Amino acid sequence: MGGRSTPVGSSYPKLAERPVGKQIQSIYTDRLRQFTDQGQYREQSLLAKLYHTTTNDDKYIKKSVYSPPNLTRPTFEEATSNKFKECHLGDQFGPSWSTHWFKIQLTIPKHMLHGEHLEFHWDANNEGLVWSEDGKPLQGLTGGGERPEWILPKSWRDGEEHTFYIEMACNKMFGNAPGGDSIQPPDPNLEYTLWQADIVDVNLAVRGLRVDFWEIGDAAREFPNDSWQRHQALQVCNEIMDVFLAGEGSQESILKGRKIAQQYVGKHVDSGRVYESKEEPIVYGIGHCHIDTCWLWPWAETKRKVVRSWSNQCDLMDRYPEHRFACSQAQQYKWLKTYYPYAFDRVKEKVKYGQFQPIGGSWVEHDTNMPSGESLVRQFLYGQRFFESHFGERCQTFWLPDTFGYSSQLPQVCRLAGMSRFFTQKLSWNNINNFPHTTFNWVALDGSQVICHMAPSETYTADANFGDVKRSVTQHKSLDQDNTSLLVFGKGDGGGGPTRDMLDKLRRLRGMSDTTSQGLLPRVHMGNSVDDFFARLEDKVAAGTDLVTWYGELYFELHRGTYTTQANNKKNNRKQEIMMHDIEYLATLATLSNNKYKYPKKEIDELWENILLCQFHDCLPGSSIEMCYDDSDELYAHNHKLGTKLKDHALAALGMSESKTKSCGETVAINTLPWNRTEIIKTPEDDYTIVYAEPGLNSTDVIELEASEKATVTEKSDGVFLLANSRFNVEVENGAITSLFDKKAQREVIAKGGKGNQLVIFDDKPLYWQAWDVEVYHLNSRKELHSGRSEIVEKGPYRVSVATKTKISDKSWMKTTISLDASTGESDSPSYVSCEAEVEWHETMKFLKVEFPVDCVNSEATYETQYGLVKRPTHYNTSWDMAKFEVCCHKFADLSEANYGVSILNDSKYGFATCGNFMRLSLLRAPKAPDAHADMGKHHIKWAIMPHTGALGTDTVHAAHNFNNPLSLITIADGEDPDDDIFSSIAVAGSASLVLDCIKRGEDDEDVSRGELEKRKGRSVILRIYESMGGKSRGTIKTTLDVKKVFKTNVLEDDLEELKYSSSGEVEIELRPFEVATFRLQL
Ligand SMILES: [Zn+2]
């Protein structure tokens, strides 16, 4: 016989004492809710024991208020110098966006003087900021029970009255949306009731047991049913409840409950010591607070969200030493420094101790689809310089958790800005295909790579719940290579950041992993940085792990409407990027030519910072409320004015003027682009002339055209017009191009039976996110707009035009003018058919496009992106192909065969689609949320159809630049002899695919620097050159300047390599396909 037999005299009971049943698991699990829910059993539950005592008596908490007029947001000094009026609980405050300052005179009542833990709780369902009596911003408060508490200073337990202030903002974390749908336009008339202003004495054991119970309860619900850990969790929770009931909720029973909980979560969950176990963690918790720089609230409110949120984090760091908080967006740091220096110093202190971790390296968390290459560079240049100058270090990780897709050159620009790591998660929102990787190498067009990690918890605003930690493994898609991940937690979008509860929960989850879970729950860790996480991955790769690669853009399969929504904003972005090119170029030349002229660095910084701010990922994409576009319109208008002034100053220093009134000298055309071009321009006398322009100044003398060069227009038959030049015959009927015949190539460009320049309109109701999304089914509703009869408006010989009016609806109309310019055989610039549109747009949920059915076949179309080209399918073979039914382009899109093709140029648009041989430029949308008036009103849009012989080439790249930055007229000041040679002092020769895209002065040159970083002796000129076609290319930088040395640098202008500089002033350069190269000429 095996086993032990029951020995004689065993104490094991011989007779069954009573029946014992098997627990019904679902009932005993559902029961747990009774212990911590707010429902009908609250008064009998643990929550009823949360406070030893509370008071809201006016005797102890005197409240008075000052309400500033006209929705203003005064400073502490301004606000507190006013008279305050007594107020009470139950009073209402409004309207939406208004501010109210409360003076609180608080006396801790005698019976609470020896309380366990005293807090002040304030809730009016909106946001608030606690200020000390002497004007220090201390801590943010979020209503609706989110974060109502402020811990009272110990020194106030003296029976005396103490004063502090609360600055109330009449908006919730997500603005002022009416009802429950937060993306609906804000209700301007919301009122907020002050319903809580209490002193409370907290029972800390209850607070602790509540979180113990929450996490063990989650284990009982979420661990697999076939795991013993689930069953044990359920037993532990039920035992805690039974003990509490048996003790009638006594303090003793609560403490006993905590002891029982320790069986499951261990002994150390009340401190950061829980993380000191030697076990290897795999989930790295990192606190974060995503504050949209504008979205459902204006910038002015964001400034306050920053101080509220970050002060809270500093406070939590004092109490939770393991707390680590990663925080991006230099602009927000700058706001904090400017408006809340006390809070900024507090942040700086925490940065020093490694708890507060600046991250991202960019000015804001910007959109990456639409900003130009130079804008992307400046996001990093301005961001990294801010971080380096204020915190002594640059960021190593680019951080964009919430941006709507990631363009193909980002890895290269990141590497050039000192960052080798990238964090995001937004692709988890794809609504067609599931992105297949969590941790991988992301590769740019030029081959540069960064390590990319997309948090498997699929959020940047995790609540640090049991499920978030669990999903960090169950949803990890790169486990073959590495099992670690980041868990990015904290209230976000509207600010906030981690809460006390979240940090407490993570302590329990770690304790659980070390005590009970035996590998079932991934071990979570606090106390590391995002850079520690990536450094570990880099080590692993160095030791031989091959991360999977992803080449090219991280296309986001949602939010495709953001290439089009808020057209005016997008146009301002494009125009000001071009304005900056000219200002920096002319100002650089002016410093080289005129000793009295000072490079306007401060103003240039201001202009760039404004442009970069407006590229925030809810601003430029068009997904913010109307107030944000009032803000950005104002900034763009300010920039336009300041930019015009700077350009004029630079021109004046060069002996010229843009303004016609100032001078009566000779008028010349200025070409600020680095290549020759031929353009028809209108002279001040309202004549046309043709200008064969070189870089710099060019005569505007009227040149007579040869007969063969002239543009002509005739009415060929009734309502059918023929526009012709030496290259094309263009037939226009009712605004549509029915034939575009290339005489040189002997080829028809428009597909048989097709109508080029046809305006089409679509019904545009996405599944939910109106301003963000256009959904694939909108294509089903395509409707051609019927236009009126065309008429001749320009007769040549320099330019011919026909204009056509199109009725869109009873409220909306459009006038399109199709033009063809004279073209000469030897011209440097290719010919194209251009179209100028004036639109009066008052539609609801419609999408306006213009289409071009062309006679070209290719399974891929090509689109300009930052510093290069991106190819995308023209078919819907797979779901990945079809997902790209609407894509982003910059200045052109192209559909080419091997020997011929068509480019569509635009001056301010970013949305495009090529389906088969149909090319469609997206013009205007009409979403009604979150801005009820998005895009309503007048618009001016330009585009051009440019057929070309051969495949897509540099002609298109140059033409698109020219189209966006036409020759402009300037006047040589009377008696001045402008330094024409200065324009030819810097040039790039060689491959036509090398684009000299930016000329500026060195950031730290001693005559330029504003002192943020160490100055550099002497003067330098920075050149940014990129290879635009995707082929290794050679060229020569030629300069007549007195250059001492030449360096290749990164975009932060660190010298990387000295280049050979010949005595004749030449530097040989070679660029990889799509390489972005920066050169520094040391003078
Ligand atoms: Zn966001």
Residues 6+ apart with CB under 8 A from 907: 571, 574, 941, 942, 943, 963, 964
What are 218-273's pLDDT values in tens digits? 999 999 999 999 999 999 999 999 999 999 999 999 999 999 999 999 999 999 99
User: Is residue 663 predicted with pLDDT exceeding 60?
Assistant: no
pLDDT value of position 517: 85
3-state secondary structure of 409: coil
pLDDT value of position 2: 59
Question: Ligand 1 centroid to 493 CA: how many Å?
Answer: 5
Mean per-residue pLDDT for 427-444?
97
Per the structure block, which two tokens stand in for 445?
A: 């067009």
pLDDT value of position 687: 86
Question: Ligand 1 centroid to 617 CA: how many Å?
Answer: 6
Q: How many residues does the chain have?
A: 1083
- Type of residue at 426: K
**Element spanning 237, H or E:** helix 228-246
Whole-number Å distance between alpha carbons of 704 and 337:
61
Question: Ligand 1 centroid to 444 CA: how many Å?
Answer: 24
pLDDT value of position 8: 67
pLDDT value of position 828: 62
Local confidence band at 1022 (pLDDT 50, 70, 90 cut-offs):
very high
- CB-CB neighbours of 59 under 10 Å: 8
Question: Ligand 1 centroid to 666 CA: how many Å?
Answer: 51
Local confidence band at 10 (pLDDT 50, 70, 90 cut-offs):
confident
Question: Ligand 1 centroid to 189 CA: how many Å?
Answer: 26
Question: Ligand 1 centroid to 352 CA: how many Å?
Answer: 27
Local confidence band at 297 (pLDDT 50, 70, 90 cut-offs):
very high
Question: Ligand 1 centroid to 426 CA: how many Å?
Answer: 10
Mean per-residue pLDDT for 497-519?
96
Question: Ligand 1 centroid to 611 CA: how many Å?
Answer: 18
Question: Ligand 1 centroid to 575 CA: how many Å?
Answer: 25
Question: Ligand 1 centroid to 959 CA: how many Å?
Answer: 35
Mean model confidence pLDDT for the chain: 96
Question: Ligand 1 centroid to 555 CA: how many Å?
Answer: 17
pLDDT value of position 660: 56
The four Cα atoms 723, 725, 730, 734 give a dihedral, to 10 degrees, of: -20
Alpha-carbon Rg for the chain, nearest whole angstrom, is: 33
Question: Are the CB atoms for 137 and 340 separated by under 8 Å?
Answer: yes
What are 436-450's pLDDT values in tens digits? 999 999 999 999 999
Question: Ligand 1 centroid to 362 CA: how many Å?
Answer: 14
pLDDT value of position 394: 98
Local confidence band at 180 (pLDDT 50, 70, 90 cut-offs):
confident
Question: Ligand 1 centroid to 331 CA: how many Å?
Answer: 14
What are 357-405's pLDDT values in tens digits? 999 999 999 999 999 999 999 999 999 999 999 999 999 999 999 999 9
Question: Ligand 1 centroid to 494 CA: how many Å?
Answer: 9
pLDDT value of position 1: 54
User: Is residue 893 predicted with pLDDT exceeding 70?
Assistant: yes
pLDDT value of position 974: 76
Question: Ligand 1 centroid to 431 CA: how many Å?
Answer: 18
Question: Ligand 1 centroid to 892 CA: how many Å?
Answer: 28
Whole-number Å distance between alpha carbons of 383 and 398:
11
Label residues 80-92 b or e (16+ Cβ within 10 Å = b): beeebeebeeeee
660 or 554, greater pLDDT: 554
pLDDT value of position 7: 66
pLDDT value of position 823: 86
Residue identified by tokens 């509207």 is: 494
- DSSP string over 863-902: EEETTEEEEEESS-SSHHHHTTSSEE-SSEEEEE-SSEEE
pLDDT value of position 685: 80
Question: Ligand 1 centroid to 214 CA: how many Å?
Answer: 29
User: Is residue 978 predicted with pLDDT exceeding 90?
Assistant: no
Question: Ligand 1 centroid to 368 CA: how many Å?
Answer: 13
Q: Among all residues, which ones are annotated catalytic? A: 402
Mean per-residue pLDDT for 418-445?
97
- Type of residue at 93: F
What are 809-829's pLDDT values in tens digits? 999 999 999 999 998 766 667
Question: Ligand 1 centroid to 648 CA: how many Å?
Answer: 38
User: Is residue 1072 predicted with pLDDT exceeding 80?
Assistant: yes
What are 724-733's pLDDT values in tens digits? 999 999 999 9
Helices then strands, each counted (H, E), the chain: 19, 56
User: Is residue 3 predicted with pLDDT exceeding 70?
Assistant: no
What are 713-761's pLDDT values in tens digits? 999 999 999 999 999 999 999 999 999 999 999 999 999 999 999 999 9
pLDDT value of position 664: 64
Question: Ligand 1 centroid to 925 CA: how many Å?
Answer: 22
Question: Are the CB atoms for 409 and 868 separated by under 8 Å?
Answer: yes
Whole-number Å distance between alpha carbons of 150 and 139:
7
Closest C-alpha to 227, from 522, 26, 520: 520
User: Is residue 4 predicted with pLDDT exceeding 90?
Assistant: no
pLDDT value of position 684: 80
Mean per-residue pLDDT for 136-155?
97
